[in-house]
Structures are given as C-alpha cells and as structure tokens.
Amino acid sequence: MGDSAPRQTVPLTCHGHSRPVPHLSFSPLEREDTYYMISACKDGNPMLRDGQTGDWIGTFLGHKGAVWQARLSPDATTAATASADFTAKVWDTHTGELLYILKHDHIVRAIAYPLEQSAMLATGGFEKKLRIFDLQDRSETSPTASSPSVATPITIETSQAFEIGEGVHKEPIKFIVWAKDPGVIITAAGDTIRWFDLPTRRCVREIKLEGEIKSCELVSLARTHSSPTDIGGGEPVLAVAAGKTAYFWGGSRADNELKQIKLPHGIASVSIDLKGKKIVVGEEPGTWARVYDWETSKELDVHKGHHGPIWSIAFSPDGNLYATGSEDGTIKMWKNCEGWYGLWKGAVSGGSTD
C-alpha cells in the first residue's frame, strides 16, 4: 500500500474463547454509545460483551455442544443461541439465567429475532425446517413467569412451533434473516437464498447463487444514525457471501437487488458500511479482512491480525466500528470513524496496524 493510504488504528482483540468463533452480532443501540455484542463459539460458551469496548460481561453456560449462532433480542433483554446439542436456548442477559430450551431433532445452525419483536424466534438447521417459536404464549402461561425466584427454564418442543415452507429446504439451513417487513423471512441453505411469506407460510422467491452461501446477514444502522443518503436509502441491507461474489438486497422485504460485487478471491464473510459506502469481507482461503469501495470495487485497506479464516463480520449499530470473528478463537474490533471513540480515545489515526 502507498504512503497516501489511510492506516487503520490498532484493532482491539477480545480473548476468552477456546475454539473457533463462527458468528457474532450486535444489539440495537439502547441509548447513545450503549450497545452489546454476543459471540457464538464452538467451545459451547457464548459470550456477552460491551459492544463499544469489547469488555467481557458474562458467559452463558449450559450448552453441551458447539454454538453456531448467537443473537441479542431487539430490546437486548434476552439472547438466543443455536447449538449442535440439538437445542436453541434463550437467556436473560442481565442474570445469565436460562429462560427457554427450544428442543430440536438435529443440530441447530441458525436463529433470528424479528427486528422489533423480542418474543418471537425463528430457527433452522440440519432438520432442514424453518420454524417460528412464539415465546409470548409460553411466558404468560408459565408458572415461573410470576415467580422470578424460581429459575426453571421452560422447555418448548418443536411440535409447538409453526413450520414455514414445509418440505422446501433440501439442505441444512445455515442462516435466517427477518426482513424489516415482519411478514418476510429469508433463509440461506446450500447455494440458495429463499424468501418466505409468513402469513401464507409459503416460499415466494428463491435464487441460486454462485456457490455455497458462507454468510447472510441483515445490516442496519440505528434510526438516529441512518439517513436517506446511506446505501439502501436508510433501510436495512441484506449482505450475502457466496463463491467470489458479495450480493446485496434492500427494501423493506430485502428483495430489491442493489448490487453484486465480484472479487478476485473467495469470500468467507461480508458486511457493509452503509454510511461510509464500503464493504468488508473475510477472504477465503486466507486470514485477512479486505475493505472495498462500494461504487468502484477498488480495494481500500487490508486488515491483518487474525490467524484463521474470518467467519463473521458485524457493524455496530452506530456504524463506528465493526467486529470480526475468526477460526483462531478471537474477536477483533476495528475502528470505523474519525477521531476518538470507545477505547480508541486519543489514538493517533496514523497508528500502525501491526
């Protein structure tokens, strides 16, 4: 890189996991500068951290197998995890207590909340079934709901969930995304992305991509930080990596194709800086994160530091940083704004990446 290229300030490294980190995600912005990050790990112990500093808050203990995905509810009061132990679990983020066990008949790979509803969850995995669990019904009828001192988790069988698109999936479901329109849910399985209409429970669209889908996430900014001039016009953008191509869809149903960006290398993960108009990808094979310009596809920066493939990339709800989760068992947080922010207070913008 030439001397004129901007240098990334030194990333923050979050240790604590003992196995690969296949997925991480942020909570919405609770109030200015307050949000959280959760990481899934093959060590079976998902971790909650302060989203801005990466400081450890707590570990959710109870899974008996690898945790493939972890997400925080829209109100950040609960966390949901998808595991190889044939369960999805819902946790209280303040106490760490296990609230719900969603039993499955095979490995659970994907889990998602709607954007504005914390009592609903969608799950998917090796059963090749997309299911919706309504936790609201359960909490109202549960004897433990009125007596918080009794910490007995509620077990919900799959027979009590709603199956969407029965028989449609031929391969394990790896990712689930709830569109801004709560009646639309999107899945990634094999090389195919599908859109489902929840009222009719039917698949309404499917697109075969260049190769196996390695990442599929809805990227959005907090309302106070989004603008009509952002990519997607201020609405969330669906970012998908398959083969050497990054795909992007916008609109309330996340079904309006915005762009395809073909890169010279495979992509293990992708996310998008909606305001700064850049994309960040984890190369495959490789261990680097590469930053590209949205309009020109020109490479802007290379982030070195991980010692294994980057399986997950997520932007904070204010867009001021993004995090990368790697096969090497670490999470790195990269500053994405000018001036001071978080633990980068006083950092010199010309700081070395090494």
Q: 141: how many CB neighbours lie within 10 A of its CB?
A: 9
Sign for the pseudo-dihedral over CA of 51, 54, 58, 61? positive
pLDDT by residue (tens digit) across 126-174?
999 999 999 987 654 444 444 445 579 999 999 999 999 999 999 999 9
Residue 6 lies in a domain: no
What are 225's two structure tokens?
Answer: 């930080």
Domains: count for the chain: 1
> Is residue 352 situated within a structural domain?
no
Residues of the chain with pLDDT under 70: 1-8, 138-150, 346-354
Taking the C-alpha atoms of residue 37 and residue 215, their distance in angstroms, rounded to an integer, is: 18
For 169, phi then psi, to 5°, come to: -80, 130
d(CA 119, CA 352): 44
**Range 318-347 burial, b when 16+ CB lie within 10 A, else e:** bbbbbbbbbbbbbbbbbbbeeeebbbbeee
Q: Is 242 exposed, middle or buried (0-12, 13-18, 19+ CB in 10 A)?
A: buried
What separation in angstroms does the CA of 226 have from each of 158, 222, 234?
Answer: 37, 6, 5
Indicate whether 185 belongs to any domain.
yes
Q: For the chain, give the longest Cα–Cα distance.
A: 65
Residue 48 lies in domain: 12-341
CATH number at residue 302: 2.130.10.10
Domain assignment present for residue 349? The answer is no
User: Quick check: is 351 in a domain?
Assistant: no
Classify 224 as helix, strand or coil.
coil
Cβ neighbours, 10 Å, residue 261 = 19
- Residue 349 has a pLDDT of 42
Domain-embedded: residue 283: yes
* Cα–Cα distance, 76 to 271 (Å, whole number): 22
Q: Please tell me the predicted confidence (pLDDT) of residue 29.
A: 92
Question: Does pTM top 0.75 for this prediction?
Answer: yes
* pLDDT score, position 32: 74
Distances in Å between the Cα of 204 and the Cα atoms of 15, 46, 128, 195, 199 are: 42, 34, 17, 6, 11
Strand 154-156 versus strand 98-103 pairing type:
parallel
Distance between CA 284 and CA 278 in Å, rounded? 19
Q: Residue 33: its pLDDT value, please?
A: 77
Neighbours of 175 (CB within 10 A): 23
Report whether 205 contacts 238 (CB < 8 A): no
Q: In this structure, is residue 334 part of a structural domain?
A: yes
Residue range 315-350, pLDDT digits in tens = 999 999 999 999 999 999 999 999 899 899 754 443
Question: Terminal CA-to-CA distance of the chain, rounded, Å?
Answer: 14
Residue 219 lies in a domain: yes
pLDDT the model gives residue 124:
98
